[in-house]
């Protein structure tokens, strides 16, 4: 056992310990990484700290660090979906798809802008033009072009990994601006603005993170982009929302700003929360050389800051409003994470808790100020990214503690609590002021030039009211269906005030002309989606009618040629037969002792059903059903003409009828008792026909009139079933003042 243990120790010594010692000795002997140099094993490194050491053992160092930042880049990329959900849930329903599209555009065109020029302005190292203010070189970046030799294969792979990480951070800055211009900026103009924001952000990244940067040399501490990313995006977002002016009627007295989908906003908050672990932990740029420990500290600082910010926001919300406001919770959590990004790698847990709590207070306190100044910030860019980034940079000058093992992580400087020196605080304030002034000036210039260009910047009043989902993407059949209008009447005026409530923002008030215009536009968009299919259905119906007419002509001609029937006007033949007579073969038809009402039925299809109107199902309203309603009673026997029931073979009613007196009660014209409705419903029928006849008492011939309704559906015709309606009352002529009902006949 002892020999095996010794062999394992020697194996690990040869595999791990000796290569690391060789790298360390090489770095110490190198003048650039000597103990007296300002550049030791750095934290933020575009070039790997072991790039000057060439040995097979160094491959492991490159691989471990590259895998770390590549994995972090994947996590950061998911933040774009978080930004999209947060912003789409915070704006009104008519613009939620458009704001999601803008987040996609940030990655597509922002990434193109960063690859072509942004990365070169940040980390270009072309020696003749190298300076502390802007980089030059590495445009249209291609690491294989720069590192083509066998000896530089590790640096080539590292360059790809570092470029991906920086690209993920840079596109975040333009995404921040998209929330500030929500519902007001044109899509094409925003694409151009996003590309410009990427180029604006490239210079602060050079100042803070490049070895030749002006503030890097002064010792500024910003691990994860508190100033170079969030502050740039936050101040440009503020300038943009002020320049574009508030949304229409945003600050009216009856305006109430609410989220269109708090669920989406909270889901986006969770995704951003997750993504910030990738930013903060990945910003230590590897796990070798003791940097894995800083990565662990950054992750713990991230969660502790969000805990402090969330707890503070919840407390303030309950104290102030007696409820837990969703926007307070979102602002508190996200602002606390932004504030910890500058110091995350060297922060203690209680540092993060305090910094996050204070940031949450600032983010909620600034909301009434924005309302008072009429600054329309739909997503909360100012409280989340601007105020929190300013406080985060100041907090470094107060809470920063020099690391015991990697003193270069903080450039051998400490904050006010640990050094009682204002040096680091002064550097942080100078960097903050410079980036704010530079970003605000260049951002305003970009907005001004785009607004004066043929593209324009802000949407028209008409487009803003309808929404970008319809104007930019043509989503008439989905999101427009969620809009609704409310019309209210004024107490002191007969005129109507028309309000458009684009759910759920009660912000848009229309005059009569605008209301009509918007209504027509929305209706047009809805109808266009159905117009094509409707035309096809109409053409099919027209063709079907033509086929039916041809079939009718053929059937009618065949019936007349045979001479054994009379066409009934629909191509069907009703066969005649003599009326039933007395036993001696003469006299009027023999009648039963029932009421003076008989039902005569012509051939019906198999699946046809005849029901009374009051018992008919809802399917009677369909196109394949026909209803007959007799509004006026039949004339009395003395005034009635000859019976017309001979056109249809008469059948005697089966069974007994109630006494005649029970059915002879008169009723008012138009009343329910004087009407009788029959509904004919055909499901799979070809031809249906129903005849209704009313006859007089036994001593008089039939005086009723027969009404036939034929509905033709196809060529085949079969007999159907007849369901007898309840026995109706006898019909009488209309009277203005009907007398008392006569006594029953005996």
- The verdict on 278 and 368 lying in the same domain is yes
DSSP tag of 585: S
| Radius of gyration, alpha carbons of the chain | 43
Q: What is the pTM of this model?
A: 0.64
- 534 assigned to some structural domain: yes
Distance separating alpha carbons of residues 447 and 452, to the nearest angstrom: 9
Residues 158-217: pLDDT tens digits? 999 999 999 999 999 999 999 999 999 999 999 999 999 999 999 999 999 999 999 999
Query: What integer pLDDT is reported at residue 550 of this predicted model?
Result: 86
Query: What integer pLDDT is reported at residue 583 of this predicted model?
Result: 43
Instruction: State which of 405, 421, 452 marks the end of a domain.
Output: 452
Instruction: State which of 452, 478, 507 marks the end of a domain.
Output: 452
Query: What integer pLDDT is reported at residue 154 of this predicted model?
Result: 86
- The verdict on 182 and 105 lying in the same domain is yes
- The verdict on 428 and 519 lying in the same domain is no
For residue 436, give both structure tokens.
Answer: 């704010």
Residues 6 or more apart whose CB falls under 8 angstroms from that of 638 comprise none
Query: What integer pLDDT is reported at residue 252 of this predicted model?
Result: 80
Query: What integer pLDDT is reported at residue 726 of this predicted model?
Result: 57
Instruction: Answer for the pair 710, 572: CB distance below 8 angstroms, yes or no.
Output: yes
Distance separating alpha carbons of residues 199 and 195, to the nearest angstrom: 7
Residues 6 or more apart whose CB falls under 8 angstroms from that of 400 comprise 221, 343, 346, 410, 413, 414, 415, 418, 424
- 403 assigned to some structural domain: yes
For residue 204, the domain's CATH number is 1.10.3430.10
The ranges of the chain with pLDDT < 50 are 1-2, 5-6, 8-17, 21, 24, 27-40, 477-510, 564-723, 746
Q: Beta strand 484-489 with 609-612: parallel, antiparallel or unpaired? A: unpaired
A 10 A CB-CB count for 537 gives: 9
- The verdict on 379 and 526 lying in the same domain is no
- 401 assigned to some structural domain: yes
Query: What integer pLDDT is reported at residue 404 of this predicted model?
Result: 82
- 622 assigned to some structural domain: no
Cα 44 to Cα 52, 76, 213, 280, 403, distances in angstroms: 17, 17, 12, 12, 15
For residue 652, give both structure tokens.
Answer: 């005697």
The neighbouring-strand residues paired with 498 are: 487, 510
A 10 A CB-CB count for 448 gives: 12
Phi-psi region of 397 (alpha: psi -120 to 50; beta: other; left: phi over 0): alpha
- The verdict on 288 and 196 lying in the same domain is yes
Query: What integer pLDDT is reported at residue 562 of this predicted model?
Result: 58
**SS3 of 358-374:** HHHHHHHHHHHHHHHCC
Residues 6 or more apart whose CB falls under 8 angstroms from that of 139 comprise 116, 117, 119, 120, 124
- The verdict on 403 and 523 lying in the same domain is no
Distance separating alpha carbons of residues 83 and 102, to the nearest angstrom: 10
- The verdict on 177 and 61 lying in the same domain is yes
209: three-class secondary structure by DSSP: helix
- The verdict on 414 and 519 lying in the same domain is no
- The verdict on 444 and 521 lying in the same domain is no
For residue 3, give both structure tokens.
Answer: 């020999």
| Count of domains for the chain | 2
Distance separating alpha carbons of residues 160 and 167, to the nearest angstrom: 11
- The verdict on 536 and 448 lying in the same domain is no
What's the start-to-end Cα distance of the chain, in Å?
A: 126
For residue 529, give its domain range.
515-547
Helices (H), 322-460: 326-340, 349-372, 381, 387-399, 416-419, 423-452
Residues 6 or more apart whose CB falls under 8 angstroms from that of 267 comprise 85, 89
Distance separating alpha carbons of residues 345 and 284, to the nearest angstrom: 7
């Amino acid at each position: 056992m002892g020999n095996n243990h010794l062999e394992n120790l020697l194996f690990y010594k040869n595999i791990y310990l000796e290569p690391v010692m060789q790298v360390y000795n090489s770095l110490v002997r190198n003048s650039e990484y000597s103990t007296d140099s300002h550049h030791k094993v750095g934290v933020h490194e575009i070039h790997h700290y072991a790039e000057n050491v060439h040995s097979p053992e160094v491959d492991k160092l490159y691989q471990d660090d590259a895998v770390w930042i590549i994995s972090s880049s994947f996590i950061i990329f998911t933040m774009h979906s978080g930004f999209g959900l947060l912003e789409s849930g915070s704006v009104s329903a008519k613009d939620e798809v458009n704001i999601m599209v803008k987040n996609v555009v940030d990655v597509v065109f922002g990434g193109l802008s960063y690859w072509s020029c942004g990365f070169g302005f940040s980390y270009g190292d072309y020696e003749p033009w190298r300076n502390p203010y802007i980089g030059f070189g590495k445009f249209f970046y291609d690491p294989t072009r720069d590192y083509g030799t066998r000896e530089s294969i590790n640096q080539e792979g590292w360059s790809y990994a570092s470029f991906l990480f920086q690209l993920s951070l840079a596109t975040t800055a333009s995404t921040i601006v998209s929330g500030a211009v929500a519902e007001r900026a044109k899509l094409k103009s925003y694409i151009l603005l996003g590309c410009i924001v990427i180029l604006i952000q490239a210079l602060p990244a050079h100042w803070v993170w490049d070895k030749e940067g002006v503030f890097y040399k002064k010792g500024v501490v910003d691990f994860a982009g508190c100033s170079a990313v969030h502050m740039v995006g936050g101040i440009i977002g503020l300038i943009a929302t002020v320049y574009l002016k508030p949304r229409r009627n945003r600050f009216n007295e009856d305006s109430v700003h609410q989220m269109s989908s708090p669920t989406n906003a909270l889901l986006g908050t969770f995704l951003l929360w997750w993504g910030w672990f990738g930013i903060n932990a990945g910003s230590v740029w590897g796990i070798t050389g003791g940097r894995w420990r800083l990565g662990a500290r950054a992750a713990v600082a991230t969660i502790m800051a969000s805990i402090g910010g969330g707890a503070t926001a919840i407390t303030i919300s309950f104290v102030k409003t007696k409820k837990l406001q969703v926007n307070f919770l979102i602002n508190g959590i996200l602002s606390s994470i932004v504030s910890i990004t500058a110091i995350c790698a060297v922060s203690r847990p209680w540092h993060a808790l305090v910094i996050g709590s204070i940031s949450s207070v600032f983010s909620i306190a600034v909301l009434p100020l924005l309302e008072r100044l009429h600054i329309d910030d739909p997503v909360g860019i100012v409280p989340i990214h601007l105020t929190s980034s300013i406080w985060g940079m100041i907090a470094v000058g107060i809470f920063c503690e020099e690391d015991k093992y990697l003193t270069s992580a903080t450039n051998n400087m400490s904050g006010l609590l640990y050094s009682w020196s204002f040096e680091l605080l002064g550097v942080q304030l100078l960097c903050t002021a410079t980036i704010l002034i530079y970003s605000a000036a260049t951002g305003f210039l970009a907005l001004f030039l785009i607004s004066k260009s043929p593209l324009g910047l802000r949407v028209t009043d008409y487009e803003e009211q309808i929404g970008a989902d319809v104007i930019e993407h043509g989503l008439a059949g989905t999101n427009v269906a969620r809009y609704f209008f409310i019309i209210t009447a004024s107490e002191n005026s007969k005129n109507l005030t028309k309000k458009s409530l684009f759910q759920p923002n009660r912000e848009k008030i229309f005059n009569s002309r605008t209301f009509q215009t918007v209504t027509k536009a929305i209706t047009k968009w809805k109808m266009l989606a159905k117009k094509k299919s409707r035309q096809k259905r109409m053409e099919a119906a027209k063709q079907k009618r033509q086929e039916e007419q041809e079939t009718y002509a053929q059937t009618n001609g065949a019936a007349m040629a045979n001479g054994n029937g009379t066409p009934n006007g629909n191509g069907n033949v009703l066969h005649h037969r003599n009326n039933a007579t007395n036993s001696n073969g003469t006299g009027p038809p023999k009648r039963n002792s029932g009421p003076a009402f008989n039902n005569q039925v012509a051939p019906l299809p198999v699946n046809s059903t005849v029901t009374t109107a009051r018992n008919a199902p809802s399917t009677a309203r369909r196109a394949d059903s026909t209803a007959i309603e007799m509004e006026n009673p039949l004339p009395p026997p003395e005034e009635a003409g000859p019976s017309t029931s001979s056109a249809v073979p008469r059948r005697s009613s089966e069974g007994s009828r109630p006494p005649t007196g029970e059915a002879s009660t008169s009723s008012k014209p138009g009343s329910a008792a004087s009407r009788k409705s029959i509904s004919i419903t055909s499901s799979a029928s070809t031809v249906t026909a129903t005849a209704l006849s009313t006859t007089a008492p036994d001593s008089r011939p039939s005086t009723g009139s027969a009404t036939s309704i034929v509905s033709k559906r196809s060529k085949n015709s079969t007999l159907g079933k007849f369901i007898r309606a309840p026995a109706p009352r006898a019909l009488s002529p209309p009277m203005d003042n009907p007398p008392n009902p006569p006594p029953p006949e005996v």
